Structure 1
């Protein structure tokens, strides 16, 4: 797949909250994920698709309700792309909120090798 195809496919998975499916199909085995800061129960950097899947499951277990996710059109430059992700959700023990972040991805050999989030 091209970078553009990967970007569009990932955006579609995200719009449907299918993050695990995206990881299985689009991510390299040694992909890395970088968060903007350390939060309780999560590392700033996660390495490997198995660890990314665990991170996704952990986050999902903290969500009480999802009300929708929107994703901007991807912006592509060379082997990287980004989009804005907005998640309308209620975390357990918290009020309903909208989480907004810029997501930046790097692709190599047809797979996502890195993701980084900015809030």
Structure 2
């Protein structure tokens, strides 16, 4: 797959809420995932670590209200998207808006690195 094809497929699956399928279909087994400083997860590597991070995130959310994922912007073997979500987190009375920029690196048709840019929520750290 080209970087554009990987990007388009990732967006398609994310919009359908099929995040686990994103990992299984599009990610390299050696995937590196980087969260911003101050976020709960830091940097993790590999399928198992990515799955654990996703599980922990889902356990922190009591309700998903909405989600919006942009079209990808592709340059060589990189692409970026924005994700905007409205969620209610455990221990919080009101929903919060979460906006992030997601940057992906593709090598040999697989995502080998993802990095997320957002302001961590102090209550979650």
Do both share a fold (TM > 0.5)?
yes
Match of 1:14 in 2: 14
- What's the CA shift string for 1:68-91, capped at 9, x where partnerless? 211111000000000110111111
SS in structure 2 of the partner of residue 29 of structure 1: strand
After TM superposition, give the deviation of residue 15 of structure 1 in Å: 1.6
TM-score (norm 2): 0.89
Gaps of 5+ in 2: 119-125
Q: How does 1:19-30 map to 2 (within 5 A)?
A: 19-30=19-30
- 8 Å contact 2:41–2:53 — kept in the other structure? no
Q: TM-score, normalised by structure 1?
A: 0.93
Whole-angstrom CA distance in 2 between matches of 1:88 and 1:17: 14
Instruction: Tell me the C-alpha RMSD between the 2 structures.
Output: 1.0
Number of residues of Structure 1 aligned to a counterpart in Structure 2? 117
Helix, strand or coil at the partner of 1:25 = helix
Give the drift of 1:43.
2.7
Q: How many Å separate the matches in 1 of 2:115 and 2:9?
A: 18
> Equivalents in 1 of 2:84, 2:41: separation in Å?
21
Which sections of structure 1, spanning at least 5 residues, go unmatched? Answer: none
Q: Hey, which bits of structure 1, 4+ residues long, moved more than 2 A?
A: none
Q: Report the 3-state secondary structure (helix = DSSP H, G, I; strand = E; otherwise coil) of the residue aligned with 2:84.
A: strand
CA contact (8 A) 1:3 1:76 kept: yes
